[in-house]
Amino acid sequence: MDSPFDSEETDTPFSPPPQPAQPVRLSTSTFSAIPQSAVPAIDFRASLNDEQYAAVTAEPGPLLVLAGAGSGKTRTLTYRVAYLLSKGVRPGEILLLTFTNKAAKEMLHRVNDLTGVEPNRFWGGTFHSIGHRALRMFGEDIGLPKNFTILDADEAESLLKQTVDAESKGFFKDKTNPKPGPLFNVISLSRNTQLPIGDTIEKYFPQYKDIAYLIPPFAVAYEKKKREQNVCDYDDLLEYWLRLLQKSPSVTQYFSERFRHILVDEYQDTNTVQAQIVDCIATHHRVMAVGDDAQCIYSWRGADFENIATFMDRHPGTAIHRIETNYRSTPEILNFANRILDAQPHRRAELAKELRAARGHGMRPQVVQTMDDREQADFVIRRIRCLVDEDGVSPSEIAVLYRSHFVAMEMQLALSRAGMPYHITSGVKFFERQHIKDIVAFVRFVYNPADELAWQRIACLLPKVGEKSAQKIHAVAREHAALMRQDLIAVLETDDVKTKVPKGALDDWPSFCASLSEVAETMRAAPPAKAFDMAVNGWYGDYLRGAFADYIDRLEELKALVGFASRYETMQDLLAQIVLLNGETSDRQVDPDAEAIKLTTVHQAKGLEYDVVFVIGVADGYFPGRRAIEDGDVEEERRLFYVASTRAKNELYLCYPKVATRAGPGGMLLEPSRFLKEIDASLYDILKPPRRSYW
């Protein structure tokens, strides 16, 4: 998508009158000079291992530091800053770019502990925060007034909604179209990856492919609206910073000469815009990019694997430093993890790493096949009991990792039944997730139309229907059903009831009522799972498509719920069990500081470590996911599996069910993950747990 600054028009608020170009005057007074003698003497050789020392003391120039999992990446960056200071580099001549303010603060405080140099003497922070500073200084060079304000996420979505309503009043009335939040996600990802919106939708949001042609004009109108109001959203801080560097050579020169040394943390997570910003500033090529290509797992947030893979092409003469000594895991776990990467089809030799353990030997990873997900959860519970009761492992040092939320449903239920405290660090518990509660309420209402709370939850999903209007509709429907001696659902489409339906909901009302009737008819003639499946594939399925950008993942979770429903023969038993299970998982409030088992997606576990790790659902279709397999692109999934395996310090268990119960009665046979099949069997043990007995 073109930037608003491509226009030659001069009558907009962002376009100042043409002025002769003025060179930026560089002044050394802006640099905070620090005498070399003021930095305490540090014995870098004694403080670092050979690999870290080589990277820390490398000659200035393009440096790519491939820091493997558990190898001391943060230590290397911290000591590099300290080393530069010890060589007389001023704090103001160092730019440290990170992905979280927390990471920047942690590193600069460590530098302070080492050298005594206060953090506020550096330019260090996230790409967005540094971009904001740059735009405040020089934004007028691209027509951005100094007094621009920044929209938070809610404000940006609100402005986008106003823009779309002005362009197409009926767009948001169609429930299958993305709501403002998901629509903003589509446009944002397109901007951060510099992919056309159509390509972005095809790759990441296929549920919107039929309306892809409608969205580019919305994006253009949204940009124009921001310009008129002199506001920026979060993505503008990157886009406009890059535009500033590309359009104003004097500004680029200023930053290049000011920041003699640029350090980038987690470089593998940079998106296209961020990588170009670094390249623009680092015209001197004195840039140290620290990262791990094997841990590039955020393409769905815009991270581009090619940035780290092609760094040496964009910065000729790059010196590559590998930090391969791992202080976290046993040799057996690392031998297994190293081989995960061997099967990459197009791996660049320059990026190859071989993690080596600094620790002594331990047990080999254990591959565990169970009959289904219930037996998988049973195995994990029994093994955890043994670890805690017999081996003295703290519950907080045990993690259960999974690729997708739906894989963890049975695990959550099993832990709750066993009375084991656990934290979910990657979201809310399964039965508390919004779409799960929605579909359960939908079916609950059909089963018991007098259930007003269930009715309110689903009715309020309709446009312009609030709690009071939902109550009025239900009251009228109840009275009319009693008068006509009919079922309440059967009278919802009568004129007497429709008079209470807000105008904004009338377009959805027929399909909403039809879906309720279909579920009711199915419920009378078929098992409970069929009724749930009908609900998922009816009106609510269309609503889900527009309401959530991660529609595909949420649909998988609803299918898991359908599989769970297949265990029950009556709707009464199923709904009662869901309520009881929800109570079991919700009422058990765990003190955040208490020792508890961690349940989390692999994405959320990146950067963390545990004594014992269980990776569940290690089967094709689960890990790698079905969509990745169908698209023929499983390489990011492979890296994700590598990240999962390298979280474990002492013990690693890779579990998978033989039968996918979420597929319904009879289940679906599963194969172990292709990532397991690619690894030599001598690097792991196959463990066959005894059926329903304790260790």
Residue 549 counted as an annotated binding residue: no
- Is 34 within the bounds of a domain? no
Coil, strand or helix at 554: helix
Binding site annotation covers 282? no
Is 69 annotated as a binding-site member? yes
Q: Judge whether residue 14 has pLDDT over 50.
A: no
Domain count, the chain: 4
Quote the CA–CA distance of 100 and 606 in Å, as a whole number: 14
Q: How far apart, in Å, do the first and last CA atoms of the chain sit?
A: 59
Confidence of residue 690 (pLDDT cuts 50, 70, 90): confident
437 and 417 within one domain: no
How confident is residue 590, by pLDDT bands cut at 50, 70 and 90?
Answer: low
Report how far apart, in Å, the C-alpha atoms of 223 and of each of 133, 147, 184, 217, 674 are. Answer: 21, 18, 12, 10, 44
Q: Is residue 15 part of a domain?
A: no
Say whether 547 counts as a known binding-site residue.
no
Query: Is the previous residue joined to 624 through a cis bond, with omega within 30 degrees of 0?
Result: yes
User: Does residue 632 sit in the same domain as residue 662?
Assistant: yes
Domain extent, residue 289, equals: 44-140+237-323
Query: Does the pLDDT of residue 439 top 60, yes or no?
Result: yes
Say yes or no: 113 and 242 in one domain.
yes
Least confident window among 95-99, 117-121, 385-389: 117-121
Integer angstrom CA distances of residue 142 from 129, 276, 353, 522, 628: 19, 18, 43, 61, 41
pLDDT at 267 over 80: yes
Quote the tokens at residue 2: 């073109």
CATH number, domain of 488, equals 1.10.486.10
Mean pLDDT of the region 22-29: 35
In this predicted structure, the answer to whether residue 19 has a pLDDT above a threshold of 60 is no
> Is residue 589 predicted with pLDDT exceeding 80?
no
Q: How confident is the model at residue 583 (pLDDT cuts 50, 70, 90)?
A: low
Average pLDDT (37-54) is 86
Q: 694 lies in a domain?
A: no
* Angle, in degrees to the nearest 10, between helices 373-389 and 409-418: 40
CB within 8 Å of 119: residues ≥ 6 apart? 105, 108, 109, 111, 112
> Is 119 inside a domain boundary?
yes
Q: Which of 176, 177, 181 is nearest to 161 (CA)?
A: 181
Residue 189: per-residue pLDDT: 96
Higher pLDDT, 348 or 200: 200
pLDDT at 585 over 70: no
pLDDT band at 563; cut points 50, 70, 90: confident
Give 228's pLDDT tier (boundaries 50, 70, 90).
very high
The stretch 653-665 carries a mean pLDDT of 79
- Of 264, 299, 323, which residue sits at a domain end? 323
Q: Give the residue-averaged pLDDT of 189-193.
A: 96
For residues 569 and 458, membership in a common domain is answered with yes
* pTM for this prediction: 0.86
CB 104 within 8 Å of CB 266: no
Residue 403 CA to residue 556 CA, distance in Å, equals 12
Residues 108, 257 within the same domain: yes
Res 611 pLDDT > 80: yes
pLDDT per residue over 270-285, tens digit each?
999 999 999 999 999 9
How far apart, in whole angstroms, are the C-alpha atoms of residue 308 and residue 64? 8
Q: Identify the pLDDT of residue 351.
A: 82
CA atoms 467, 473, 474, 476: torsion sign: positive
Q: Above 90 in pLDDT, residue 122?
A: no
* Percent with pLDDT over 90 in the chain: 65
- In this structure, the answer to whether residues 557 and 655 fall within a common structural domain is no
> Which of 214, 162, 143, 223 minimizes the C-alpha distance to 188?
223
Q: What is the mean pLDDT of residues 602-613?
A: 93
Determine the pLDDT at residue 504. Answer: 86
Question: Is the sign of the CA dihedral 659, 663, 666, 670 positive or negative?
Answer: negative
Q: Flag whether pLDDT at 472 surpasses 70.
A: yes
pLDDT at 33: 46
> How do residues 613-638 score in pLDDT, each as one tens digit?
999 999 999 999 888 898 888 999 99
The predicted pLDDT at position 595 comes to: 87
Same domain, 397 and 493: no
Same domain, 417 and 445: no
Q: Tens digits of per-residue pLDDT, 411-433?
A: 988 898 888 989 887 667 788 88
Give pLDDT, residue 38.
61
pLDDT category at 39 given cuts 50, 70, 90 is low
| Mode of pairing for the β-strands spanning 659-660 and 668-669 | antiparallel
Whether 335 is in a domain gets the answer: no
Task: Determine, yes or no, domain membership for 334.
Answer: no
- Cβ partners under 8 Å of residue 307, min gap 6: 267, 268, 270, 271, 272, 274, 275
pLDDT of 201: 95
| Domain CATH for 136 | 3.40.50.300
User: CB–CB of 130/97 below 8 Å?
Assistant: yes
State residue 591's pLDDT score: 61
pLDDT exceeds cutoff 60 at 12? no
* Whether residue 112 sits in one domain with residue 256: yes
Count the Cβ atoms, other than its own, within 10 Å of residue 98: 23
Kindly state whether residues 390 and 481 are assigned to the same domain: no
Question: What pLDDT score does 659 carry?
Answer: 87
Residue 2 pLDDT: 36
**Domain limit, last residue, from 191, 207, 229:** 229
Q: Is 71 annotated for ligand binding?
A: yes
What pLDDT sits at residue 41? 84
At residue 369, the 3 state secondary structure works out as: strand
Question: Is 174 part of any domain?
Answer: yes
- For residues 364-380, give the mean pLDDT: 94
CA–CA separation, 398 vs 393, rounded Å? 8
- From 271, 296, 323, the end of a domain falls on 323
- Higher-pLDDT residue of 34, 314: 314
Rounded average pLDDT over 57-78: 92
* 459, 408: one domain: no
In a domain, 256, yes or no: yes
Q: What is the dihedral of CA 521, 526, 527, 531, to 10 degrees?
A: -30
Q: Mention every residue, 6+ apart, whose C-beta is less than 8 A from residue 646.
A: 69, 70, 326, 328, 329, 333, 334, 337, 355
Is 125 known to sit in a ligand binding site? no
Q: Mind listing the pLDDT tens digit for each residue in 98-113?
A: 988 888 888 888 988 8
Q: Do 311 and 408 have their domain in common?
A: no
**Residue 200 annotated in ligand binding:** no
Tell me: is residue 156 an annotated ligand-binding position: no
